[in-house]
Every structure is written in C-alpha cells, then in structure tokens.
Amino acid sequence: MTKQTSSTVTVTDPDARHKLHIAQVLLGGYAALSVLTLLAIVVFSGNPDMVTDAVWIRGTVLAVASLVTFALGVSMAQGARRNYRRVQIIALAQVVAVVVIESVPGAFPLWFKVENGMCGALLVIVVLVTLARTVRSTFAVR
C-alpha cells in the first residue's frame, strides 16, 4: 500500500522499502568506487600505460554520473517517482556503456576495465532490484 501525490509516493510496503534501500546502498558503492577511480587516475596520471586520455574522459564522466545517480537514488528511495525512472534509465545506460567498454580491445587498460566491470555489476543489480514487482507497483501511476 502506498500513499501518493503526483510526484512522490510514501513507500509503505516493507519489501519495496528494503529493495529501495539496497538500490541506494549499491548506488553509494558505485559512487564511492567511481570517485576512488578518479583519484587513482590523478595519482597515476604520469604513467601513460595506466592512464590514457580515454581513461581520463571516461573516469571523469563516470565519477560525475555516479554522484548524480546516487543523489537521484536517495531521492528515489524517499519516494520520488521521477527519480525512480531516472535511476532506471541512467543505470541501464551505464550498463550498456560498460559492455561497450569491455568489448573494445585495447581501448582501456585492464585495471580500468575491471573497475568498470565492478561498476556495471552494481548497476545491473540496481536495475534488477528496481524492476521488482513490489518496487514497480509502488511507483505505478494509479
């Protein structure tokens, strides 16, 4: 059961609350990993084998996107209907980007591909959790 306004819902279903909390924690992990990766890029920027221009660009975009996605995830967990959709779209788009990065040979160093794979795994779980029946029904327009 949910109490709704046009843009927010009160999440009363315990399973939906739990799943939204899981998504929020995973998005926090995604943001933390992405920011730590950006710090590693800065630290190792003098080594062209570890930090290429592509790593700089993707790493910076990933760090910013992860922080935005985390903020949206916090709002989503508090019942923001629009941010529920935004988190799903952004997480799915990032998963697709990770698959592309992982499949392009030689475009990124191995350490960066591993980090991107870890971020992708977190985001796949976020997508799956937000697609759970209790979460979908919580945010369904009635």
Q: Does residue 1 lie within any of the structural domains?
A: no
Contact 69, 127 (CB under 8 A): no
Q: Does residue 25 lie within any of the structural domains?
A: yes
Q: Does residue 139 lie within any of the structural domains?
A: no
| CA distance linking residue 109 with residue 19, whole number of Å | 34
Tokens of 112: 């960066």
Amino acid 2: pLDDT: 47
For residue 132, which of 13, 34, 9, 37 has the smallest C-alpha distance? 13
In sequence order, the 6+-apart residues with CB closer than 8 A to the CB of 18 are none
Kindly report the pTM of this predicted structure.
0.90
> Per-residue pLDDT tens for 27-82?
999 999 999 999 999 999 999 999 999 999 999 999 999 999 999 999 999 999 99
Domain hosting residue 34, numbered range: 12-134
**Number of domains within the chain:** 1
Q: Does residue 6 lie within any of the structural domains?
A: no
Q: Does residue 75 lie within any of the structural domains?
A: yes
Residue 66: count of CB within 10 angstroms of its CB: 26
> Per-residue pLDDT tens for 12-29?
899 999 999 999 999 999
Q: Does residue 92 lie within any of the structural domains?
A: yes
Collapsed DSSP state (helix, strand, coil) of residue 49: coil
